[in-house]
């Protein structure tokens, strides 16, 4: 509710030096200065008034505050100023969106012709309707996880094509293009123009976002605007736009460019840039910085490789300085004498063993020959066998007419028995054992 407490009643007679339309003619016009002084004199007689509204902007400059107050039911706004002397007496927690009641007095600056209201007192009534609605939406989207950093997509290191949604011929577009091309001259843009405030803001931005998100060549999308008061930024807190940005497959950067009043798009976007210029710097790498980084990495790599090679060379020299590698033939020479001695020793052992075995072989051969029947036959004896191979040991085994096979030292022959001649057994020769067969004298 608004109440008025005028200090003076409007409609009083103006001062004698005031300007009246009937007092001025085309040939004798009044000056701008006199006109402004007259307006100021008239306004200064207005009293203070308590007014209720919503703060739509609240900026501090030089210790003073400059802002705007909006009507709760219509789009009407007024500018206000809070001087530093008054600001010190007010609470410190005033911000955009607050529902307040303020004591204002009209103030007119004749030098510039600016009209505003000076606030001498102000108190909270509550959050404005718009702020309450945005806060409810903020709580809902946060509970759904749309603000969660985990779901936000990572921007590509060097995008081949950047999608830009902004106002046509806007400063935001120029700032993004200029700063991006300064950082990476060959950067490519695909720009979609949309209204950045008003009723057309949300549908046109949604259409541009859909088109760029469907373009396979676009690697990242920037939504840019050059700031503004909260009223003009309401489109970037619209639930339809926020959910479309969250559902986009392409990373989205919010570059609305307003630090004091951040729209909800800043919370939902994959990256929030403070200004369009900041968006260009954060999306596009600086070619000079990258060249410097490559040079630095190359220098580090060269240093590490050089250090490694020098270290390996030092280790190789250390290994080569060892006696076994410095004079390898010395080790071979010392081992050669030992090998020659072992070889001779082995040869002597083998020769002695062969000689011993040969001697034993000869002895065994001699013993074998001495015991062999062939040796007996060689001395002129023979072995007689009847048919069937039986050896004749007794003369009675071969009666007269018996066919015999006589084996001698070299071969055998056939014979026929003529009967017994003498039954006196033949004595064996000296040193010979009697055999099982019949021995006959020299054939």
CB 165 within 8 A of CB 189: no
Taking the domains of the chain in order of start, what are their residue ranges?
3-126, 133-285, 288-322, 375-420
Phi and psi, residue 426, nearest 5°? -85, 125
CB 249 within 8 A of CB 216: no
Q: Output the pLDDT for position 307.
A: 94
Q: Output the pLDDT for position 439.
A: 43
Q: Output the pLDDT for position 428.
A: 54
CA dist., res. 240 & res. 202, Å (int):
8
Parallel, antiparallel or unpaired: strands 98-109 and 77-82: unpaired
Q: How many CB atoms lie within 10 A of CB 368?
A: 11
Q: What is the DSSP letter of 322?
A: S
Q: What is the DSSP letter of 195?
A: -
CB 214 within 8 A of CB 192: no
Give pTM, 2 decimals: 0.49
With a cut of 70, list the residues of the chain below it in pLDDT: 1-26, 126-129, 229-231, 258-261, 421-443
CB 393 within 8 A of CB 438: yes
Q: Output the pLDDT for position 246.
A: 94
* Nearest to 231, CA basis, from 14, 77, 5: 77
Q: How many CB atoms lie within 10 A of CB 252?
A: 25
Take residue 18 and report the two structure tokens written for it. Answer: 């005031």
Between the CA of residue 338 and those of 213, 328, 333, what are the distances in Å?
86, 16, 9
Q: Which residues pair with 175 in a beta bridge?
A: none
CB 189 within 8 A of CB 222: no
Q: Output the pLDDT for position 41.
A: 82
Q: Output the pLDDT for position 204.
A: 95
Q: Output the pLDDT for position 284.
A: 93
- CATH architecture for the domain at 133-285: 3-Layer(aba) Sandwich (3.40)
Strand order in the sheet with 271-272: 188-193, 161-166, 220-224, 252-255, 271-272
**Which CATH class, in words, describes the domain spanning 3-126?**
mainly beta
Does residue 280 sit in helix, strand or coil? helix
Q: Output the pLDDT for position 23.
A: 54
């Amino acid at each position: 509710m608004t109440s008025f407490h005028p200090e003076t009643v409007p409609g009083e007679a103006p001062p004698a030096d005031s300007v009246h339309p009937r007092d001025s003619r085309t040939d004798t016009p009044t000056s701008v200065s006199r006109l402004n002084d007259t307006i100021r004199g008239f306004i200064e007689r207005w009293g203070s008034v308590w007014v209720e509204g919503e703060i739509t902007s609240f900026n501090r400059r030089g210790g003073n505050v400059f802002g705007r107050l909006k009507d709760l039911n219509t789009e009407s706004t007024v500018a206000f100023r809070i001087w530093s002397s008054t600001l010190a007496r007010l609470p410190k927690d005033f911000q955009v969106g607050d529902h307040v009641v303020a004591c204002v007095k009209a103030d007119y600056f004749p030098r510039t012709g600016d009209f505003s209201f000076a606030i001498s007192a102000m108190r909270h009534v509550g959050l404005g309707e718009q702020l309450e609605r945005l806060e409810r939406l903020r709580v809902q989207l946060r509970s759904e996880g749309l603000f969660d950093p985990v779901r936000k997509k990572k921007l590509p290191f060097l995008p081949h094509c950047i999608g830009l949604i902004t106002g046509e011929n806007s400063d935001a577009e120029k700032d993004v293009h200029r700063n991006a091309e300064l950082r990476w001259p060959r950067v490519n843009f695909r720009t979609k123009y949309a209204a950045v405030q008003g009723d057309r803001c949300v549908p046109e931005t949604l259409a541009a976002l859909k088109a760029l998100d469907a373009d396979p060549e676009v690697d990242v999308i920037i939504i840019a605007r050059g700031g503004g008061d909260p009223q003009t930024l309401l489109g970037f807190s619209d639930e339809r736009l926020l959910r479309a940005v969250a559902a986009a497959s392409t990373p989205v950067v919010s570059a609305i460019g307003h630090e004091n009043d951040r729209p909800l798009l800043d919370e939902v976007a994959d990256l929030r840039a403070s200004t369009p210029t900041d968006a260009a710097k954060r999306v596009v790498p600086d070619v000079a910085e990258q060249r410097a980084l490559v040079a630095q990495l190359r220098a580090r790599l060269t240093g590490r490789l050089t250090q490694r090679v020098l270290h390996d060379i030092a280790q190789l020299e250390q290994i080569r300085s060892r006696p076994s590698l410095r004079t390898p033939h010395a080790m071979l020479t010392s081992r050669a004498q030992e090998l020659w001695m072992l070889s001779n020793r082995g040869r002597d052992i083998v020769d002695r063993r062969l000689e011993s075995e040969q001697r034993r072989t000869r002895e065994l051969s001699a013993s074998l020959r001495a015991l062999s029947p062939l040796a007996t036959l060689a001395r002129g004896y023979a072995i007689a066998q009847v048919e069937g191979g039986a050896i004749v040991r007794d003369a009675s085994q071969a009666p007269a007419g018996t066919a015999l096979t006589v084996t001698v030292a070299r071969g055998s022959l056939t014979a026929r028995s003529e009967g017994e001649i003498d039954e006196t057994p033949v004595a064996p020769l000296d040193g010979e054992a009697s055999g099982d067969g019949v021995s006959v004298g020299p054939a």
